[in-house]
């Protein structure tokens, strides 16, 4: 079945530094979604990308969808302590595969 890989697994940054997480799929995706999970919480939807090469921004967050629709990235500029959590990408393939999540990147911020 569909597999979604995400790197890195953990990322330690100093507050104010930038952060990027990368997502790769074994198959072409119809869309890519990004979620954030705070410690002890549940995943919360951030954004969805559908078009090849699409770029979307939410304040300090920039999301990209690759031209081949098999990879994506999330970039956070000037991290803040409120950005702490695990960021997941999730994708749906062309068949009947359900929404498949990557293993997530745990963002740890040191003040």
Residues lying near other proteins in the complex (CB under 8 A) are found at 1, 30-31, 33, 35, 42-45, 48, 50, 88, 90, 92, 96-104
Compute the distance between CA of residue 18 and CA of residue 79 in angstroms, rounded to an integer: 6
Closest to other proteins by CB, 36 or 76 = 36
Task: Name the pairing type of β-strands 85-92 and 100-101.
Answer: antiparallel
- Report the DSSP beta bridge partners of residue 20: 75
Nearer to other proteins, 44 or 55 (CB): 44
Q: 17 or 97, CB closer to other proteins?
A: 97
Strands 4-7 and 19-25: antiparallel
Shorter beta-carbon distance to other proteins: residue 32 or 76: 32
Distances (CA, A) of 110 to 7, 18, 40, 100: 20, 12, 19, 31
In whole angstroms, what is the distance from residue 111 CA to residue 47 CA? Answer: 27
Minimal distance in Å, beta carbon 16 to other proteins? 29
């Amino acid at each position: 079945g569909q597999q979604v890989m995400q790197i890195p697994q953990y990322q330690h940054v100093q507050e104010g530094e930038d952060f990027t997480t990368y997502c790769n799929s074994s198959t072409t995706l119809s869309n890519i979604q990004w979620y954030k999970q705070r410690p002890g919480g549940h995943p919360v939807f951030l954004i969805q990308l559908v078009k090849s090469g699409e770029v979307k921004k939410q304040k300090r967050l920039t999301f990209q969808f690759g031209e081949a629709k098999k990879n994506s990235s999330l970039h956070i500029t000037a991290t803040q302590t409120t950005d702490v959590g695990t960021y997941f990408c999730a994708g749906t393939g062309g068949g009947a595969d359900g929404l498949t999540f990557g293993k997530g990147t745990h963002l740890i911020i040191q003040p």
